[in-house]
Structures are given as structure tokens and as C-alpha cells.
């Protein structure tokens, strides 16, 4: 019997990884050794694993630099319209393997590293995640950068280089504990500091009105130091830039006023300015109105706009040498996309530059601003909408407050003309909320100051127009669009699941073709009854499950049954995402197995993972409940390996890349109307998991694309939720009517899962019974029934796998390439292109 192939041998056979030419491999080895030699300091002659990682990273980076320079030169000569994607989050994960995939270097590097006697996966594991995001919004920005480069758009991602990204999560005695994510501790081989482009950013001060214009004076200055990270397109020799700003105190900071306790104290106080880029705020879908956060938002905007205008003025008109001074053409050359309201200050800041500095009239400046800016809305949850207190603004950004007041005055003047005497409408549509403490509604500012407003899935875009922003839609219907989110198939298929990528490539087309045009996956439908394809897809899934099972045993010391269904819910912990509904199902299933231990139950390993915002008490209690249920279930010998519950600690991009390819069932169970889109749902679908979900977010379009009969859809639709709100949701009614639900709730409240502390979960029980905004009980019965269907189908591997093929074949729409092509054509006025540019070693 032939020996099973090693991972390295298996990888070698996979065409998606690029060819390992002999010269290529030899060159890589030479360059690797050169980097290793210069990495090692004279007094150290033994290399560590980290030294090897850095040598490899620098070797791969060498292949980026020539392309990066040539791409930027190409843009300078062609002078295309440029798009600036402004986001306070870029959740990038690791860079090494993604770069190898996009440059078609994976097999050559693999072979070189193997010949040097090293293990590629071990080296890759040395890289820290760039965790500069909380969840969906930040990861979307990262996928978009990949797609913009792949589609040949002259695009720039602008954000903050947080010294500390999203916290690392430890589970201690079943509770979440946070530790700081010191991701830059060992240095970052992928970034390049650009001190020559350092920019001043102003805060505080006061405003002076003179006959010749307005001056913002006596400000405090913080310097913004840019760090550039290359963003390679997929095998097209294009390398775009992500520029992240770091805060630096100016040299004279506080040193002029020695009243701060002398020289030493003045130097120590430099930290105050530099705190702006110290740490990512760890809230997902929740607004915390802190001054430091507003400083972060203005900091990234002010630095970026200076950069945009510098680049606009320096760029040449075709071949002539004239430098552009006429800012009225800005919207022809610049598009600014605001990723949620976090960078909303771009609107008043651009107005300040155009009116105060460039001396344009208000009307001209406003026309330029609106035609340049566009806004993406990411949520309809009221607690997530940014509303900044006016006194905070008055103190921190006095000139911007004046500008916002003037924008609002003119906006309300227009509304008054359209709806004379409708004072309630004026109140609803004002940028300033007057009830109680006066606040600026940043979403209203974004809508008024942008030429396009989009939601991130069809149902979400419809909800925006029908409810939250209905008044604005009635006045400016042409502004409102939909752009359903997508994911990059480079990271989320080729990189994380090469086995599946290869099976697909063998069946119907060259990998390079369908990875650039994911709609070609529909060709798989021709093979839905092909026994060979069914067998191959099931085999890849089984291999991924075995590999992940090994990972779990190493990490958590838990033995799991790889033949069980891997039932996975990974996402931020939030009441609206209803991890609690999953918990109710787990306990129900546990009770049923205990009641009939001899029945042929479909074995399940239920995995839940995700971080809770450190200040979100309910979310932290939910984590404790999940781990407490696991303690009971996993140690019950009657249940055995038919049911296991695992909390996946420290869920992040790199863990997603491992767990998603190994999953059988994807849990997307938010209350209808609450999850704007979701993108994890798309990753599971592309990687051969089936979805159990509500008709919410992009699930609706997934069901449309794959056929609703190929998803496990359950629960209330948006109209049912609205009807229940009208009637009044009464949790007790369900509790009293459904015996299994009553049993489950009595177990939680009676201390069955917390014997040492019977009322540990009283807050959760009280919330579910008396003030559950997300109506968990209302969907319980249908969810349990739907889970029974899942268990039944899982027993029939062939039928299950055919359903998987329908899902993979329906994934084409959910490539971020499609999303970005729509942004480009319908919002930015740019045309995407799949052309390659010449590689640096090609003659031009």
C-alpha cells in the first residue's frame, strides 16, 4: 500500500500554486540566504524560526518592489481617476501567503524552502495577523483592496496604523479575558515608512473671521507619519498602496511652554499626541462617543485629504508639464469612498480646505465635495449610529462645527422649500439632533454631503430607503444604491482551500480564469450528478476536517470525532447575531440524546467563536454560557462523541482560514432585518458548507443564487418581525407553550449549567424572558425543526454533497471583484480592467 503523501508533496501537485521552475527556485534560495545573512547580526550565528520567516518575507517582498514602483509610475503617466477608500479599519490578517498566491510564487517558494530543509507552514505561522479591524467592516475593506488591485483600478486604502489592533482573546475559566495585541513587537516586513510625506494635523484652537476669509488659529499640531503597504493584484503585475498614518508629536511639542513641569515632563507628554494611533476601539456595531475616537476619525481624514490634494496638484495632464491648480476638476480625478460614517469628517474638512485655504465660493466648494464623496452604510442598529455631542466638537474642531452648521442651514432651507410648514420633517432630517444634549448625526451629514449612498445587500438597501433614511430617499432617490458585499476568492478559496480550488479547476476551467471571474463557477452545475466530482468534493472536505481536528487537539487538547457534522458559528458576539439561539438548540439536542440514548443521532461537533467588546456585559455572559454548556455536555458519558461543544478561542482572520474550509454547517441566524449583509456567510458557501439561516442580509441573495431549496432557511421574515412588533412580542407565551423551550430555560435559570452558582445566568434569562429586542424565542421552534432536517440530510453523504455543489456553483455573485466593478462603474465613474501591465523584468 502506498504511503500517504506528505503535506509538502500534496501541495506540489496543486496547479493553483504556480509553477516551480528550476531557475526560479535557485534564485529564491540565493535571495533567501542573502536576506538571512543580513538579518543575522554578527554575534549570533544560529538562526531562529523567526529569522527564517523574515528572510522569506523579504525574499517575497523583493518580487513586489519592482512591480510596485512600476505601477505607481504607470499611474503617474496615464493620470487615471483615482479612488480613495477611507476606513478606520483594515482587517488584513497575514500577508506572506496571500502575496505568494497573487504573484504565482507559491510552489517555487515551497520548493525552495523544502530544499533548504525548512517547513513552509511553520514559517508562515511566525507571522502576526494585522488585526486592524473588528469584524465584517474591516475585513470587507481588506477584500476590496485585493479586488481593486486585481481590477487594475488606481486605488489607495487610507487608514490608521494602530500600534495595538483588536485584542487577543483568552478564555480563562470559561470567561473572556483580553490582552493587548502587540503585533509590531518584532517589526513588520511588509510596511515602508514614508517620512517625506509627513503631514500636520490640527486640533483645538479658535476661529477668527476676517474680511479676507476665515482663520483657524492657536491650534495644537500632531504630525501624521505615513506607512505604506503594497497591495498586489492577482497575477496582473499591479501593486497598489495601503497608506496607514501613525501619530507623531512635533519636536517643539510643549517644549515652548515650560509651565508643564519642565523639560522632562514636556518630552513625556509627547505620548499624549502619539496616543491617537495607539489602539483600535474594539466595538463592533456600537458607538462610543469618546474624544480620543473623534480625534482618530479627524486625524485619518485630515492627513489623507492633504495627501489627495497634493497628489491631484502634482499629477500631470497627459504629457504636458503644467501642474493642476484648478480644483473644480477634482471630481473628475478623485473619488472618495467613506466606509461607514467613521471618516465622515472628510466632508467638512474638504469644505474647509476649498473655502478657507483655496478661497473657492461655498457653492463651488459644495458642488466639488458632493461629486467627490460617496457613503457606504453598514448598519441600521440605532446604538451603532454615530452621534457626536456638539460641545466635544466646539472644543476639538471649532471650524468644522461652523461648517457643519452652515451645511445644515442650507440643507434645511432646501427641505423647507420642498415641504413648507412640515416642522416635524425638518426635525427628523436635521444634521443636528436637538432632543436633550445637542448632537451631530453623522449619517445625515454623509447623506447630504455625498452623491451616492449605498447599503451592502439588497434587503439592507431596501430597509434604508423604507425606514431609517426614508425622508432622505424621498428628497434624493437618485442617491440611493445597493452594492451587495463580496469576498476575495484569492484568500478565501485559493489560499485557504487549495484542495477545493484544484478540484474545481480540474472539472471545468483554468484556475486563473475562474479566480478572476467567479461567475464561471456556475459551470459546475453541469456536473452536479457526476459521481467523481461528488466523491472529490466530499474527500477534500474530509481532509480539511481531519487537519482541523488535529489543530484542535494540539490547541485545546480535545479529541473530536472527524466523522461528526462540524456545525460552526463564528462571528463577533452580539445579541442580534443570536448565539443564544444556537445555545438553545445545543441544550435541546443534549436533552433529546439523554432522553433516548439508544437512538441513531447524527453526531455533531458544535463550534462557536468570536470576540465580545470588552465593555459589552451581555456578550461576555453569552461566552460564559457557551463554555458552561460545553463543560456539562462534553463530560457526559451518556452523550459520548455524539455531541461536543467547543469554544474557538481568539477567532481572527487566520483562524477563519482554518475553520471555514473544515465546516459542514454555517450558522447565519440573526433576526431578519438586523445583519446588514454578512460576509462570513459567503466564505462558508464558497468553501463547501451548507447554510442554516434566516432571510437576512446577503443570505437572501445566496438563496436566490443557489436556489432556496439548497439552503436551510427558517424563521420570521422582515415583515413577520414588523408584524410581531406591532402586536407586541411576548416571550412568556412561547415559554409556556413549548415544553422543550421551557425545560431548556429552566435548566439555565436553575443552575444546571452553573451548579456552584445557580443564578449566574440570571441576567441572560431575564433578558430573554422580558426584554429581548431580537426575539430569540419567536424563531426557536422553526430553528429546531430546521436543524432536524439538517441532521437527516447529513446522513446521506451523496445528497448532502450535491447540495454543496449547488451552493459552490451559486457563489459567483459573491466575489468582491463583482462588488468593486459595480462601485467603479456606478459610483466612482471608473472602468475596471483585467489587463496585465508589463512585469518589471519585461522590456517596456
Contact 240, 71 (CB under 8 A): yes
Q: Is 551 exposed, middle or buried (0-12, 13-18, 19+ CB in 10 A)?
A: middle
Say how far apart CA 585 and CA 844 lie, in whole Å.
62
Residue labelled with grid coordinates 471618516: 343
Q: Is 807 helix (H, G, I), strand (E, B) or coil?
A: helix
- H or E segment at 737? helix 731-737
Of these residues, 94, 411, 577, 611, which one is catalytic?
577
For residue 572, indicate whether it is catalytic: yes
As a whole number of angstroms, the longest Cα–Cα distance in the chain is: 91
Q: What are phi and psi of 631, to 5 degrees?
A: -55, -45
Concatenated DSSP letters of 779-804: HHHHHHHHHHHHHHHHT-HHHHHHHH
Say how far apart CA 451 and CA 462 lie, in whole Å.
18
Among 241, 368, 345, 350, residue whose Cα is nearest residue 293: 345
For residue 139, indicate whether it is catalytic: no
Among 594, 645, 566, residue whose Cα is nearest residue 747: 594
CA 19 to chain centre: 31
For residue 539, indicate whether it is catalytic: no
Q: How far lies 336's CA from each of 232, 309, 368, 369, 824, in Å?
A: 21, 12, 11, 9, 11
Of these residues, 378, 491, 578, 813, which one is catalytic?
378
Say how far apart CA 500 and CA 477 lie, in whole Å.
43
Q: Is 92 helix (H, G, I), strand (E, B) or coil?
A: strand
| Sign of torsion over alpha carbons 753, 758, 762, 768 | positive
Q: Tell me whether strands 220-232 and 199-203 are parallel, antiparallel or unpaired.
A: antiparallel
Among 637, 686, 498, 668, residue whose Cα is nearest residue 570: 668
Of these residues, 293, 352, 491, 571, which one is catalytic?
571
Q: Tell me whether strands 373-376 and 452-455 are parallel, antiparallel or unpaired.
A: parallel
Bridge partner residues of 609 (DSSP): 570, 648
For residue 795, indicate whether it is catalytic: no
The DSSP call for residue 195 is: G
Q: Tell me whether strands 665-668 and 565-570 are parallel, antiparallel or unpaired.
A: parallel
How many residues are present in the chain? Answer: 844
Q: Is 359 exposed, middle or buried (0-12, 13-18, 19+ CB in 10 A)?
A: exposed
Of these residues, 99, 369, 679, 819, which one is catalytic?
679
Say how far apart CA 684 and CA 568 lie, in whole Å.
10
Buried b (16+ CB within 10 A) or exposed e, 151-184: bbbbbbbbbbbbbbbbbbbebeebebeeeebebe
- H or E segment at 231? strand 220-232
Of these residues, 94, 352, 491, 572, which one is catalytic?
572
The DSSP call for residue 324 is: P
CA 273 to chain centre: 28
For residue 378, indicate whether it is catalytic: yes
Among 436, 752, 506, 509, residue whose Cα is nearest residue 625: 752
Of these residues, 139, 652, 683, 813, which one is catalytic?
683
Q: Which residues form the catalytic set?
A: 378, 571-572, 577, 679, 683
Amino acid at each position: 500500500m502506498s504511503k500517504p503523501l506528505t503535506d509538502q508533496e500534496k501541495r506540489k501537485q496543486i496547479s493553483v500554486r504556480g509553477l516551480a521552475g528550476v531557475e526560479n527556485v535557485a534564485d529564491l534560495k540565493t535571495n533567501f540566504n542573502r536576506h538571512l545573512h543580513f538579518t543575522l547580526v554578527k554575534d549570533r550565528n544560529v538562526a531562529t524560526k523567526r529569522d527564517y520567516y523574515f528572510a522569506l518575507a523579504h525574499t517575497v517582498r523583493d518580487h513586489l518592489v519592482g512591480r510596485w514602483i512600476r505601477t505607481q509610475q504607470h499611474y503617474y503617466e496615464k493620470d487615471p481617476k483615482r479612488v480613495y477608500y477611507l476606513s478606520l479599519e483594515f482587517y488584513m490578517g497575514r500577508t506572506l501567503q496571500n502575496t505568494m498566491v497573487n504573484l504565482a510564487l507559491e510552489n517555487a517558494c515551497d520548493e525552495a524552502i523544502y530544499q533548504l530543509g525548512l517547513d513552509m507552514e511553520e514559517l508562515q505561522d511566525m507571522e502576526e495577523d494585522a488585526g486592524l479591524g473588528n469584524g465584517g467592516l474591516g475585513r470587507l475593506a481588506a477584500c476590496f483592496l485585493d479586488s481593486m488591485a486585481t481590477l487594475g483600478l488606481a486605488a489607495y486604502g487610507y487608514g490608521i496604523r494602530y500600534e495595538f489592533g483588536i485584542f487577543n482573546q483568552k478564555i480563562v475559566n470559561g470567561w473572556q479575558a483580553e490582552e493587548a495585541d502587540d503585533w509590531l513587537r518584532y517589526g513588520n516586513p511588509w510596511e515602508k515608512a514614508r517620512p517625506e510625506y509627513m503631514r500636520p494635523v490640527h486640533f483645538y484652537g479658535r476661529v477668527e473671521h476676517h474680511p479676507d476669509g476665515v482663520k483657524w488659529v492657536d491650534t495644537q499640531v500632531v504630525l501624521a507619519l505615513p506607512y505604506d503597504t503594497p497591495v498586489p493584484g492577482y497575477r496582473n503585475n499591479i501593486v497598489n498602496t495601503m497608506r496607514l498614518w501613525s501619530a507623531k508629536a512635533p519636536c517643539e511639542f510643549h517644549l515652548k511652554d515650560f509651565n508643564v513641569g519642565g523639560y522632562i515632563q514636556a518630552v513625556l507628554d509627547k505620548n499624549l499626541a502619539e496616543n491617537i494611533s495607539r489602539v483600535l476601539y474594539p466595538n463592533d456595531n456600537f458607538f462610543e462617543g469618546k474624544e480620543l475616537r473623534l480625534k482618530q476619525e479627524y486625524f485619518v481624514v485630515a492627513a489623507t485629504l492633504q495627501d489627495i490634494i497634493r497628489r491631484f496638484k502634482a499629477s500631470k495632464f497627459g504629457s504636458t508639464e503644467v501642474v493642476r491648480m484648478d480644483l473644480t476638476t477634482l471630481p473628475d480625478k478623485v473619488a472618495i469612498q467613506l466606509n461607514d460614517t467613521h471618516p465622515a469628517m472628510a466632508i467638512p474638512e474638504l469644505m474647509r480646505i476649498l473655502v478657507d485655504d483655496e478661497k473657492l465660493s461655498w457653492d463651488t466648494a459644495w458642488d466639488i465635495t458632493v461629486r467627490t464623496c460617496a457613503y457606504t452604510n453598514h448598519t441600521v442598529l440605532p446604538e451603532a449610529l454615530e452621534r457626536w455631542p456638539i460641545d466635544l466638537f466646539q472644543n476639538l474642531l471649532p471650524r468644522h462645527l461652523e461648517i457643519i452648521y452652515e451645511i445644515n442651514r442650507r440643507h434645511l432651507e432646501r427641505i423647507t422649500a420642498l415641504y413648507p410648514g412640515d416642522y416635524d420633517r425638518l426635525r427628523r432630517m436635521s444634521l443636528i439632533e436637538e432632543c436633550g444634549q445637542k448632537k451631530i448625526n453623522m449619517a445625515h451629514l454623509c447623506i447630504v454631503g455625498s452623491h451616492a449612498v449605498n447599503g451592502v445587500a439588497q434587503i439592507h438597501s431596501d430597509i434604508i430607503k423604507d425606514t431609517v433614511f426614508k425622508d432622505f430617499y424621498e428628497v434624493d432617490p437618485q442617491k440611493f444604491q445597493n452594492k451587495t458585499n463580496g469576498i476575495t476568492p484569492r484568500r478565501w478559496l485559493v489560499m485557504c482551500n487549495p484542495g477545493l480550488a484544484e478540484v474545481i479547476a480540474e472539472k471545468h476551467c483554468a484556475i486563473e480564469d475562474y479566480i478572476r471571474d467567479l461567475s464561471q463557477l456556475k459551470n459546475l452545475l453541469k456536473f452536479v450528478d457526476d459521481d467523481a466530482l461528488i466523491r472529490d468534493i466530499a474527500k477534500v472536505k474530509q481532509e480539511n476536517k481531519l487537519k482541523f481536528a488535529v489543530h484542535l487537539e494540539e490547541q485545546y487538547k480535545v479529541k473530536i470525532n472527524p466523522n461528526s457534522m462540524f456545525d460552526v458559528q463564528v462571528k463577533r458576539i452580539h445579541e442580534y447575531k443570536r448565539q443564544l439561539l444556537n445555545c438553545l438548540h445545543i441544550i435541546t439536542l443534549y436533552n433529546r440524546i439523554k432522553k433516548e440514548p439508544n437512538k441513531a443521532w447524527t453526531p455533531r461537533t458544535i463550534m462557536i467563536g468570536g470576540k465580545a467588546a470588552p465593555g459589552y456585559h451581555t456578550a461576555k455572559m453569552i461566552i460564559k454560557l457557551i463554555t458552561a454548556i460545553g463543560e456539562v455536555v462534553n463530560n457526559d458519558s451518556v452523550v459520548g462523541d455524539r455531541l461536543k461543544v467547543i469554544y474557538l478561542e481568539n477567532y481572527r482572520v487566520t483562524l477563519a482560514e482554518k475553520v471555514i474550509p473544515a465546516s459542514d454547517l454555517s450558522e447565519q441566524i440573526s433576526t431578519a432585518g438586523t445583519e446588514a449583509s454578512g460576509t462570513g456567510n459567503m466564505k462558508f458557501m464558497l468553501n463547501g458548507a451548507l447554510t442554516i439561516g434566516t432571510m437576512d442580509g446577503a443570505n437572501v441573495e445566496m438563496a436566490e443564487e443557489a436556489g432556496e431549496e439548497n439552503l436551510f432557511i427558517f424563521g420570521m421574515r422582515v415583515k413577520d418581525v414588523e408584524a410581531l412588533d406591532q402586536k407586541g412580542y411576548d416571550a412568556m407565551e412561547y415559554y409556556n407553550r413549548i415544553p422543550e423551550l421551557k425545560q431548556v430555560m429552566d435548566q439555565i435559570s436553575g443552575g444546571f449549567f452553573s451548579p456552584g452558582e445557580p443564578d449566574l445566568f440570571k441576567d441572560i434569562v431575564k433578558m430573554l424572558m422580558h426584554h429581548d429586542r431580537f426575539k430569540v424565542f419567536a424563531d426557536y421552534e422553526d430553528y429546531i425543526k430546521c436543524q432536524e432536517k439538517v441532521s437527516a440530510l447529513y446522513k446521506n453523504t451523496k445528497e448532502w454533497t450535491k447540495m454543496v455543489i449547488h451552493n459552490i456553483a451559486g457563489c459567483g455573485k459573491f466575489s468582491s471583484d463583482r462588488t468593486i466593478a459595480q462601485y467603479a462603474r456606478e459610483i466612482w465613474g471608473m472602468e475596471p480592467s483585467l489587463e496585465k501591465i508589463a512585469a518589471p523584468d519585461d522590456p517596456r
